[in-house]
Amino acid sequence: MFDRTLTGRRALLKSVAGFAAAATLPLIARTALAQDPGASAFIQKLGDRAIKTFSDKGTKAAAKEKFRALLVEGFDIPYIGRWVLGRYWNVANDAQRQEYMALFERMIVDAYAGRFAEYSGETFKITGARPEGDADSTVTTQIVRPSGPPINVDWRVRKAGATYKIIDVAVEGVSMGVTQRSEFASVIQTNGGQFDGLLKVLRAKVAG
Amino acid sequence: MTGASFLRILKGAASAAVVALSLTACSLPGSGPGEREAWLEANDPFEPLNRAIFGINEAADFLVIGPAAYAYNAIVPDPVRESVRSFTANLLSPITIVNQLLQGDFDGAIHATGRFLTNTVLGAGGIADVATAAGIPDQKEDFGQTLAVWGFNEGPYVVLPFLGPSSMRDATGYAVDTLADPVRMWAANTDHEGAYMAKGIAGGIDRRSRVLKEVEDLRRNSVDYYATLRSLYRQQRKADIEEKAAVAQPDFPAFEKTPEAPAKKK
């Protein structure tokens, strides 16, 4: 709103990019078809195992431990943890980074274990996959619920050697990584740019 | 909730906002390294005021809106809630149609008009959403989205009393949509303001009742709920505007070395 000229230029760029995209679309479609199906297979396997874990109504602690193992195996938590810090990674020293990583992992596991404890018969189906840069793929899925419309969930998967790991999840176009990154930035900002402010908040979070 | 108590809350919120505004109008970037970039990225120069209004909204949600939504969910049977949802959504159709036209999306306008006629005629004035059942899904468009299509940036983030997260652009859009809403005009011209307000409140309670679990989850799992909602709102709007066609992917660089897991020290 304040930079009209910029907006105009961006709109122009966008339309140029649109033409370029249209021209390369058949190419992309071919690449997608020819793409290594490993990423989709990885998501399918992980999803099946996750559903199996939640359907097993064992003790809560045992389920959480199983889920933790699944999460650590399927997600590149160290990568995500660093990515969501953005520029603040460089502000932190080694000791702070190590404490942060430990807290981040605990927080993520707690949050997702709590979410999946409410699992009630949802299923998922893979609807597609597209390559994302050199090493990544986005696997698109739909979570089908017993009631209500299905939810679109996109998994960004990175291949390293022979293993696949999830590095971001987007629910209906909303990226968990982006959300977490702005949240952490805000916490650090409200603490006067001090990294310790974030650690303090995270310590309280995992303790509570 | 009676109209009078609603107005009283509204007045309270307005005066609290004025106090907050006079205390601290704007946030300014700090002087530390990268703080200016962070400030620009947040795009929230009215953050102190926004946080104050956010606090009031949260209090209202805690005291009135949340409990009402839980009660609504628990007491009113599913089919009735579906009807309320369809009816209030159908009344928004004219706004969607006009905005589709303003965006030059004639197919979208035809689609929305078809929905509106189908539900109004065959769905008994909109209480049954027969169009969705027939494979014509609802797709809302508002003037904020139209402004975006016209090339306006979202502008700074704002939190509106009771309406919650918005932006300069989307708040402007909301005001225009409200003024141009044929239902509101009809209500104003025929002395049915009460019915219009009731529709608004019912719609709000219904919307809130659909995200009971999600809100609980976010509150429980956030370390800065305000910042989380700010980010969610922006991403959601962006996805709606770009209609998932070409949502820009964030950049995921390869870090030179993946940080060591904290357990195993180097």
Phi, psi of A196 (to 5 degrees): -60, -25
- What tokens appear for B182 in the block? 């044929």
Yes or no, beta carbons of A178 and B250 under 8 Å apart: yes
Contact A119, A70 (CB under 8 A): no
pLDDT for the residue B25:
57
Separation of alpha carbons A82 and A89, rounded Å: 7
- Answer yes or no: is pLDDT of A61 > 90: no
Segment A123-147, tens digit of pLDDT: 889 999 988 888 899 999 998 888 7
The alpha-carbon gap from B112 to the nearest alpha carbon of chain A, in Å, equals: 19
Residue B133 has a CB neighbour count (10 Å cut-off) of 11
Segment A76-125, tens digit of pLDDT: 999 999 999 988 998 899 999 999 999 999 998 888 877 777 777 888 89
Residue A32: pLDDT band (50, 70, 90) is very low
- The conformational region for residue B247 under phi > 0 = left, psi -120 to 50 = alpha, else beta, is beta
Yes or no, beta carbons of B250 and A8 under 8 Å apart: no
Yes or no, beta carbons of B222 and A102 under 8 Å apart: no
pLDDT for the residue B265:
41
Q: In whole angstroms, how far apart are CA A17 and each of A130, A139, B136, B151, B246? A: 19, 23, 31, 16, 10
Residue A184: pLDDT band (50, 70, 90) is very high
pLDDT for the residue A176:
93
Which 142-201 residues of chain A touch chain B by CB within 8 A?
Answer: 152, 156, 158, 167-168, 172-175, 177-179, 182-190, 192-193, 198, 201
pLDDT for the residue A156:
94
Over the range B102-131, which residues count as b (16 or more CB within 10 Å of their CB) and which as e?
A: bbebeebbebbbebbebbeeebeebbbbbb
Which of A22-31, A149-158, B182-191 bottoms out in mean pLDDT, i.e. has the lowest? A22-31
The Cβ-side half-sphere exposure at B246, using a 13 Å CA radius, reads 9
Non-local (6+) Cβ contacts of A34 within 8 A are: none
pLDDT for the residue B246:
47
Which of A40-54, A174-188, B14-28, B129-143 bottoms out in mean pLDDT, i.e. has the lowest? B14-28
- What tokens appear for A179 in the block? 């959300």
pLDDT for the residue B27:
75
Beta bridge partners of A144: A123
Complex prediction ipTM: 0.76
Residue A185: name the closest of A78, A77, A91 by CA.
A91
Segment B3-13, tens digit of pLDDT: 555 555 555 65
The alpha-carbon gap from B258 to the nearest alpha carbon of chain A, in Å, equals: 6
pLDDT for the residue B24:
53
Global pTM value: 0.78
Residues of chain B with pLDDT under 70: 1-25, 31-34, 243-249, 257-266
Q: Region A17-29: what's the mean pLDDT?
A: 45
Closest residue in A to B242 (Cα) is A173
Beta bridge partners of A126: A141
Phi, psi of A66 (to 5 degrees): -65, -45
> Contacts of residue B251 in chain A, CB cutoff 8 Å?
none
Separation of alpha carbons B36 and B34, rounded Å: 5
The Cβ-side half-sphere exposure at A64, using a 13 Å CA radius, reads 13
Residue B61's identity, in one-letter code, is: D
Closest residue in B to A11 (Cα) is B151
Contact B148, B154 (CB under 8 A): yes
| DSSP symbols for B212-252 | HHHHHHHHHH-SSHHHHHHHHHHHHHHHHHTTTTSPPPPP-
Q: Region A57-61: what's the mean pLDDT?
A: 71
